[in-house]
Structure 1
């Protein structure tokens, strides 16, 4: 039996009723699932890859991207898996990742609009695209630990999280470290505006909250055991 681990889900479009919500979920073995009735019924989308998909993002009901583990191109070369859709996830096309470094694994994607987006992942790197993911430029020199989440509010202010929380106010041209975790990893980040946001992660810090754009962070209590979030 094939076991599928769903690693990311995104709301593609929605209406007043949950029965009208379209979602796309991605996971292990190159799996992409899609529902148009709020999750009551799911269909698997054809995709000729076997590598794990770890991230998915849509900027409108039609245009989206998914990416994850690297695929082996030759015995010495492997490039990150990346596909994009123009029809809400019904079909997916290859994205050219030739500009990406060898053995790079994508953990998260965040596109602000149809052209400008960021990816983060293994080796503590941040990459940016200004042409809808057709080519990518490295923006951050890398760290010893992976980056797991990325969030931008507008095209200038963004945050990337992993073993540290780093921030840019100039679209990624420069980055500053806002918070460094001790023996823990942040797994995701979300901001509602340029001031208020949350970071979640492994046991040891749980939930971090800021109301000043990340200048300071404070822990928030949450129910349950001190396990990974």
Structure 2
């Protein structure tokens, strides 16, 4: 792990004041944006928001009926993309976002997804979770990140070289596709975004008024201050080694000298811009709280708020998932009882009949106990765990995960939720 040093340079230029107004396709918080071409854009956010426009933002269509919060979306080309979010949800599209299919990944909340081609990709999230797929998301392998800090973004240059950043200033690097992740830096703030323009030059955004910068592939990082008016950088994007943008609390800033100096392009007083993406050096979009969507067609010289209308659901995924809910176990944390009594209880709800599989796993993904394995009718049910393994031996103190997977009787589609449980000594 390396120490951060700081190099501070400011550049003041005229800014554009953007007034946030109410006429917009959603009021939900928007957390990521993917620009597919100058007209087609995907935005994702809270309350199941997954919006798609094909006319530059004049009209938007909601793509999925869901209550989940979607936190990250990534496309490898104009057709193929993935999104992830709350409760480890993963969706995939192969037609530019017209239709989304649910994929299965045993994961906590996922904050980031990144693919290098149609087959190879990674998802990262809470508790240092990283998983890799080599089958386009059909199956996933959990990787050892070496950290328990939440991971908020992930970026790969090729199938071998990648970086992940997150809470407590965590910066991870791999040079073998994630088989081994090395910690390059930790600190006190959070890192929300990481972007590499090539294998050696990259930036990471802080919950502070600076960016971390590397020119040796992430082995060493230096801090570069952004603006003198205290903008908090939450997302970073570079179209070249010299030209880049950051969005965050209060607006958008830009650089034309690789981040040595920055100037504010847009000011927003009552919103936080969580994500920014450009299709080229001219056309870019930014999204944030309260459903704010901004776009530019001149590299950020001017930004305008998108005020298009929501026109309905364009096309559903092939099979809407069965609605169900798994509540957090109670008590949690808990101790293993010496007798055979129950130590903790989980309550779950089904909207219609389904086959229910509920099991407990340790942090290495090994099955510890099976709680439910049968068909259930619609209703509210409870399952209990006495803190013992498959051989009825008390488990060691530590972190465990209860995974509930249901199979809908008509479509045979499988979906799941999981909860983290803590066993005390």
Q: Provide the TM-score with structure 1 as the length reference.
A: 0.84
Q: Which consecutive residues of structure 2, in runs of 5 or more, have no partner in the other structure?
A: 1-46, 48-65, 274-425
Deviation at 1:91, TM superposition (A): 2.3
Deviation at 1:180, TM superposition (A): 5.5
CA distance in 2, matches of 1:228, 1:60: 31
CA distance in 2, matches of 1:208, 1:177: 16
Counterpart of 2:236? 189
> Does the alignment pair 1:60 with 2:60?
no
Q: Where do 1:110-149 residues align within 5 Å?
A: 110-140=155-185, 142-149=186-193
Counterpart of 1:220? 265
Deviation at 1:179, TM superposition (A): 1.1
Q: Quick check: 2:253–2:266 contact (8 Å CA) kept in 1?
A: no
Counterpart of 1:89? 137
> Does the alignment pair 1:179 with 2:236?
no
Q: Which consecutive residues of structure 1, in runs of 5 or more, have no partner in the other structure?
A: 15-20, 71-79
> Does the alignment pair 1:5 with 2:69?
yes
> Does the alignment pair 1:106 with 2:154?
no
1:155 to 199, 215, 236: 199
The residue matched to 1:226 in structure 2 has which SS? strand
Deviations 1:177-202 (A, max 9, x none): 11157765322111111111111112
Q: Quick check: 2:114–2:122 contact (8 Å CA) kept in 1?
A: yes
Q: Quick check: 1:12–1:88 contact (8 Å CA) kept in 2?
A: no
Q: Quick check: 2:226–2:262 contact (8 Å CA) kept in 1?
A: no
CA distance in 1, matches of 2:215, 2:266: 29
The residue matched to 1:220 in structure 2 has which SS? strand
Counterpart of 1:75? none
CA distance in 2, matches of 1:177, 1:133: 26
Q: Provide the TM-score with structure 2 as the length reference.
A: 0.46
CA distance in 2, matches of 1:212, 1:123: 28
Deviations 1:129-159 (A, max 9, x none): 111011111212x332100000111111111
Moved more, 173-182 or 213-222: 173-182
Aligned residue-pair number: 206
CA distance in 1, matches of 2:140, 2:156: 17
Asked which structure has the greater CA Rg, the reply is 2
Deviations 1:159-182 (A, max 9, x none): 111122011111122222111577
Q: Where do 1:23-34 residues align within 5 Å?
A: 23-34=81-92
For the aligned residue pairs, the C-alpha RMSD in angstroms reads 1.9
Greater RCO between the two (CA within 8 Å, min separation 6)?
Answer: 2
